[in-house]
Amino acid sequence: MADSTHASSSGRDRLRELIDAVLEEDNRTLPDMAGDAYASPWYFSRQVTRGAGEPPVALRRRVLLERAAWQLREGASVTETAFAAGYDSVEGFARAFTRAYGRSPGSLHDGGPRTRDAHWLPAPNGIHFHPPMSLWMADEQARGGTPDEVAALMVHHDVEDVRVLIETAKQLDDEAYRRARLPGWSVLPWDGAEESVAALLSTLVWSKEVWLASIEGADHPVRGADHPDALLARHDDVAPRWLAAVRDIARRGAWGDRLVDALCEPPETFVLGSVVAHVLTYSAHRRLLVRHLLRDAGVEVDTGDPIDWLTRAPR
């Protein structure tokens, strides 16, 4: 990292000053952080991202979730932890926590490991919450992320983006939601026609349900209803379990392990890493198609860029 980012001629650690501004208790927005560091929001974000390898809003959100996990293990209530982490509602905190950890906040009240890193989330910079009110800088990660962390980022973005699209699709009436805007279109032959917003969103959820059943060794799932409310419930059930499954693969270094999928006729063998890559590849394609169809239906929707997602303030 450049000397101008890390330390000034007076010997001050400029990067640490920037990180302090990111994590200051009262600095909940990017302008608040930048003001504390006497910088414009654009310059502040650029300096933190260049020096820490992580945008300031994402860094703050992750470290506060790590602190929340530790506080919950120590017996704090979900409500007090949610507001201490800067969330405006317990429900919003619970959603964010479950997406990050693959389990609900309340489940941590039953204890769990007390190791230094038990509450850590994947990070590109080795910066983590260290109890009771400190940071831990893990040297082995300080020069950047690992492939596992990139995979975790992509998987996390995917599940959150699918949820955004299902919520956005609620703006359509049922006829517009099911209208065949791509006549004869099929993404993959075995998935059938995906001509509408409804069909594409349904397959986005269904593909994770099927692959997760294979990984877990469960029976072939029954495909549920596809109207937006039902899809949202299905997604919120499968998403944290899918995140937890991918996180477990990364933890065990099991990307090259093979899965014999007995749900196929005849049974087939798949490499776990290729399964995750398959889901991400076709999910990204379908998410872009859904955006195209939503715009065709007159609904405003963002680009789905993970860069924008990662820098977005906590909801």
Residue 19 confidence (pLDDT): 81
Residue 173 confidence (pLDDT): 96
pLDDT tens string 210-255: 999 888 877 888 899 999 999 999 999 999 999 988 988 888 888 8
The ranges assigned to domains in the chain are: 3-141, 147-311
Residue 146 confidence (pLDDT): 58
- Mean pLDDT, residues 134-145 taken together: 53
Q: Residue 178 above 90 pLDDT? A: yes
pTM, full prediction? 0.58
Residue 140 confidence (pLDDT): 42
Region of poorest pLDDT, from 34-38, 122-126, 133-137: 133-137
Q: Residue 145 above 60 pLDDT? A: no
Residue 237 confidence (pLDDT): 92
Residue 302 confidence (pLDDT): 93
Question: CA-CA distance, 263 to 213, in Å (whole number)?
Answer: 9
CATH of 3-141 among 3.10.105.10, 1.10.357.10, 3.40.50.300, 1.10.10.60: 1.10.10.60
- Whether 147-311 and 3-141 are alike in CATH topology: the answer is no
**Amino acid residing at 84:** A
What is the rounded average pLDDT for all residues in the chain? 83
Residue 315 confidence (pLDDT): 39
Q: Residue 98 above 50 pLDDT? A: yes
- Mean pLDDT, residues 154-169 taken together: 94
Region of poorest pLDDT, from 93-97, 203-207, 216-220, 245-249: 216-220
Residue 142 confidence (pLDDT): 36
CATH of domain 147-311: 1.20.120.450
Give 171 or 129, the one with higher predicted confidence: 171
Q: What whole-number percentage of the chain has pLDDT above 70? A: 83
pLDDT tens string 4-30: 333 333 334 667 777 888 878 777 788
